[in-house]
Amino acid sequence: MEELTDESIMLSVKEGNLPSMTELFERYHVKLYNFFLKLTFDRIASEDLTQNVFYRLIKYKHSYDIGEGSFKSWMYKIARNVHFDFCKEQKKHAEQFKELEEVHENAESPEHFSNEEDFEKLNLALLQLQPDQRELIVLSRFEGLKYGEISRINGKSVVAIKVQVHRAIKQLRNFYFNQH
Amino acid sequence: MNCEDVQTLLPDYYDDMLSPISRYAVQNHLKTCEHCNKELHEISVLFDSIAGRDLEVPPASLKENFSRMLMGEMQQEENKKRQKTGTTIIGMQSFSMLWKIAAAVVIFLGGTFLGTRLKTGSDTPSYSQINELKNEVKGVKEMMMFKLLQGESASDRIQAVDYVNEMPSPDRKVIAALINTLNHDKNVNVRLASLYSLAKFSDNPMVSDSLVSSLSRQTEPVIQIVLINMLAAKKETKAIQPIREILLNDKTIKEVKDIAAQKLKTL
């Protein structure tokens, strides 16, 4: 059986064939869940947020436009909005990063994510990043999106994104290699 | 190129995303600069650490909630379509040829009815006359149903299937048309609507038998799930074999298999 593209499946959903969404769910729910996990460090919230993305994909199916880039960038754009709304709602946004120590204690402890010391180090470094930098790292490095795709997601120019991603990588590197 | 220039390019250098010219310049610089080599090494360690991480598997409840949400959305979509068809009829905005025929028939019947009433000179029409009219209206509904079922528009076909709900005791011909729709209609929403309409007559052996045989035809997960649930609720033992086959079929998706396995136990 030939593999259908994400775009053609989403078009079929747009035309009213809602069950096709199951295929897109199969393709992306693990990725999205991990995307939110890296941003929130909260499993229960990540599950809700992932579900919320698929809900919005269906609700906003009519606004899907194949001319505006890949399905993936549209989906992450929605995922980003879902996360943004979540932060706003929780009012966590500001406090979460001011008192890093506290957050780190409350967050699921890194050994739950992986037993390896390396992952603990990586998670700790990620937690220390500013939220917008963390998002850029997750999109570009974890989700493997190209600069052009990220530009479609957050509406900034490709050049600006390149600079910001590099800055974020540098920052992450500092946190990663200069841990006590 | 100085160190600062090179360092901004290092991530893309590591990803092999640079133009040949930049790539060459970076390579040249790396031959002599220890500091930038250290940076590149750090980047490679960091990136490898990111690339090597395992994806965490979300809990099963995520899939369950998704399926439930999808079902709910499909139901809503269908209701919306029905409502839309409803308002167009009332608003008389887009009168299809069929509706015109239907209206003509009804007006004609009304006229006949009035005529007979005037002729007999009685104020109250007799029962036989009312029954006759009722039968004719029923005939019109059936005719409309068959006509609409052949139409191109999915919402017309859903409307047609819906007519059955207004028929107190649909005959074999109507039931057969519904079963045919369930098995062959190209639109999943129409198939689902006819399945729901058929469910009301599942005490009828002809209906329950055809629901059982439909099990092995359906490939759409939603229809499979609704069918399995329906037959399991009816304790239809004839369904055991086809449900087993669905369970064994490689093409069946996991959600359906889960429900099939769960319902098999209740049968």
pLDDT at A29 over 90: yes
CB–CB of B11 and A29 under 8 A? no
Calpha distance B170→B260 (Å, rounded): 31
Position with higher pLDDT, B147 vs B59: B59
Select from A1, A18, A44 the residue whose CB has the most chain B CBs within 10 Å, as the one to mutate to test that interface: A18
Among chain A residues, the shortest Cα distance to B80 is held by: A16
Q: Which of A35-39, A64-68, B54-58, B192-196 has the lowest mean pLDDT?
A: A64-68
B264 pLDDT above the threshold of 50? yes
- Residue A48 scores a pLDDT above 90: yes
- List strand residue ranges (DSSP E) for chain B, in order: none
> Which of B46, B50, B59 is facing A47, going by the closest CB pair?
B59
User: Which residues on A lie below 8 Å from B189 (Cβ)?
Assistant: 16
B53 and A169 within 8 Å at the Cβ level: the answer is no
The predicted model gives B72-97 an average pLDDT of 66
CB-based contact B11 A165, cutoff 8 Å: yes
Question: Are the beta carbons of A19 and B42 separated by less than 8 Å?
Answer: no
CB A14 within 8 A of CB A64: yes
- Using an 8 Å CB-CB cutoff, list chain B residues near A126: none
For residue A28, what are the CA distances in angstroms to A50, A80, A171, B180?
A: 9, 15, 29, 36
Cβ separation A141–B42 shorter than 8 A: no
Q: Which residues of B64-93 are buried (b: 16+ CB within 10 A; e: fewer)?
A: ebbbebbbebbeeebeebeeebeeeeeeee
Give the minimum alpha-carbon distance from A33 to chain B in angstroms, rounded to a whole number. Answer: 7
Contact A119/B154, CB-based, under 8 Å?
Answer: no
CB contact (8 A) between residue B43 and residue A169: yes
Rounded to a whole number, what is the distance in Å from the CA of B168 to chain A's nearest CA?
31
DSSP secondary structure string, B177-207? Answer: HHHHHHHH-S-HHHHHHHHHHHHTTTTSHHH
The alpha carbon of B21 is separated from its chain's Cα centroid by a whole number of angstroms, namely: 54
Residue in A29, A58, A122 nearest the CB of B49: A122
Instruction: Please compute the mean of the pLDDT values over residues A129-146 and round it to a whole number.
Output: 90
Among chain A residues, CA nearest to B52: A119
Residue B41's contacts (CB-CB under 8 Å, 6 or more residues apart) are: none
Give how far Cα A180 sits from Cα of A33, A38, A125, B45, B52, Å: 30, 22, 12, 18, 23
Chain centroid, CA B16 distance in Å: 45
Q: Is the pLDDT of residue A120 over 60?
A: yes
Please state, as a whole number, how many other Cβ atoms lie within 10 Å of the Cβ of residue B55.
12
Helices B221-233 and B240-248 pack at an angle, to 10 degrees, of: 150
Q: Which residues contact B83 (CB under 8 A, 6 or more apart)?
A: none
Place of tokens 């939220």: A131
- For chain A, the structural domain boundaries read 6-177
Residue numbers in A near B58 (CB within 8 A): 29-30, 33, 46-47, 50
Please report residues of A whose CB lies closer than 8 A to that of B47.
Answer: 141
ipTM, interface predicted TM-score of the complex = 0.77
Distances (CA, A) of B20 to A5, A86, B7, B12, B24: 31, 43, 17, 12, 6
B33, B2 contact by CB (below 8 A): no
Mean pLDDT of B85-95: 52
Mean pLDDT, chain A, integer: 83
